[in-house]
């Protein structure tokens, strides 16, 4: 297939997760991404165990379709060569420690002045400005700081981290979106721009519904574990053979659910007739539904509910989700070239019905492609 970003050149001065995720998204869409690593490598290479042939799965998961080169940022000549290479790039993505690049001549103001067409993307912990702009941070810290951790889990639970690195992945996504917008802007004006994103801003963005809810009521929204504070029933239930989700997101679906569980009269009950009433009487309604769901198997309930058009499904473990025929039909789980028994999750986008593939294995060695840069003698390597 023709890749949307074929011909676009990207320098990734990224480590750990958020910056590399942005580079990964652009690489999957066809950009030629040179991942710049310190001589000792990206810290994420050592995030384990477990390890896959000596490399962290966390590193492998977000660095496919890139080339790795090493640059010692303490070496002035090496930095000068990197700056020349940036001059041939369309996009630079960086998530280095705040302030560390400015003294090296690699900051946004310096490079965009020297290379006006460059789209310079920075990933921060707390943001490009403000009293915390120079404060470093990692995923758990920012989940806590943004309020996300306080809203995750159930009432009475301690503050709970979202299980995956949702702020790193989300900030990488916003950064890639910003880079694409910058490229469109450049195509129209001939000038690049500076794109800034941060884990803190991403956390606040994920909390936007709670933000408005708090303003509307003056009260902190209650936590509901798998459920919702605004829609009922919209959560997990334990069947005779394991947990499942039921999401009756409106009054029509609730009427169908009531019929399936043997209580069609619920739609006439003023406690349950509308979503607002169900929210007000959530505990008793959820308790009644839970007692019924526990009497039959997960498969039986899913068949019965789906026959009536009620959204529902099993709560899968990761291997079940990845192996499901739906995931296989979508082709989102893809093999890594040169690794017979390793797969990664590909780009969650398709173009004209085709998903961009994994063309290049994640760089197993630090600076695996240094020889290509050296052979190009200061130019962009083929």
Q: Mind telling me the catalytic residues?
A: 168
DSSP 4-64: TTTT-EEEEE--TTHHHHHHHHHHHTT-EEEEEE-TT--GGGG--SS-BTTB-HHHHHT-T
Distance CA 308, CA 16 (A): 46
**Could you tell me if 311 and 249 are in contact, meaning their C-beta atoms sit under 8 angstroms apart?**
yes
Token pair for 2? 């023709």
- DSSP conformation class of 240: T
DSSP 241-272: TEEEEEE--SHHHHHHHHHHTT-GGGGG-TTT
Distance CA 267, CA 144 (A): 40
Q: What are the residues whose beta carbons fall under 8 Å from the beta carbon of 30, sequence distance 6 or more?
A: 3, 4, 5, 6, 7, 8, 356
Token pair for 17? 């997760």
Token pair for 6? 């074929």
Cα–Cα–Cα angle for 73, 5, 184, nearest 5°?
90
């Amino acid at each position: 297939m023709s890749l949307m970003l074929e011909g676009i050149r990207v320098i990734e001065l990224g480590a750990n997760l958020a910056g590399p995720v942005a580079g990964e998204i652009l690489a999957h869409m066809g950009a030629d991404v040179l991942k710049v690593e310190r001589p000792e490598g990206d810290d994420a290479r050592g995030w384990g165990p477990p390890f896959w042939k000596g490399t962290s799965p966390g590193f492998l998961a977000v660095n496919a379709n890139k080339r790795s080169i090493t640059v010692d940022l303490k070496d002035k000549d090496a930095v000068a060569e990197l700056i020349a290479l940036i001059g041939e790039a369309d996009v630079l993505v960086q998530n280095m420690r705040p302030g560390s690049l400015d003294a090296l001549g690699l900051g946004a103001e310096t490079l965009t002045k020297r290379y006006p067409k460059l789209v310079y993307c920075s990933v921060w912990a707390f943001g490009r400005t403000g009293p915390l702009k120079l404060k470093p941070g990692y995923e758990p810290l920012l989940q806590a700081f943004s309020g996300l951790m306080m809203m995750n889990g159930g009432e009475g639970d301690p503050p709970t981290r979202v299980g995956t690195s949702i702020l790193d992945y989300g900030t990488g996504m916003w950064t890639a979106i910003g880079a694409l917008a910058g490229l469109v802007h450049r195509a129209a004006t001939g000038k690049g721009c500076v794109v800034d994103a941060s884990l803190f801003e991403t956390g606040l963005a994920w909390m936007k519904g709670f933000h408005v809810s708090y303003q509307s009521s003056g009260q902190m929204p209650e936590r509901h574990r798998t459920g919702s504070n605004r829609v009922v029933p919209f959560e997990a239930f334990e069947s005779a053979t394991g947990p499942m989700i039921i999401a009756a997101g409106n009054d029509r679906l609730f009427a169908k659910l009531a019929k399936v569980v043997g209580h069609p009269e619920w739609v006439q009950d003023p406690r349950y007739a509308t979503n607002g009433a169900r929210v007000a009487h959530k505990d008793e309604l959820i308790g009644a539904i839970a007692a019924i769901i526990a009497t039959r198997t997960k498969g039986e309930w899913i068949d019965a509910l789906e026959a009536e058009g009620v959204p529902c499904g099993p709560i899968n473990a990761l291997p079940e989700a990845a192996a499901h025929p739906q995931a296989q039909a979508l082709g989102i789980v893809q093999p890594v070239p040169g690794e017979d028994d390793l797969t990664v999750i590909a780009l969650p986008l398709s173009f004209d019905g085709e998903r961009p593939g994994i063309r290049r294995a994640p760089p197993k060695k630090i600076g695996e492609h240094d020889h290509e840069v050296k052979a190009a003698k200061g130019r962009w390597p083929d």
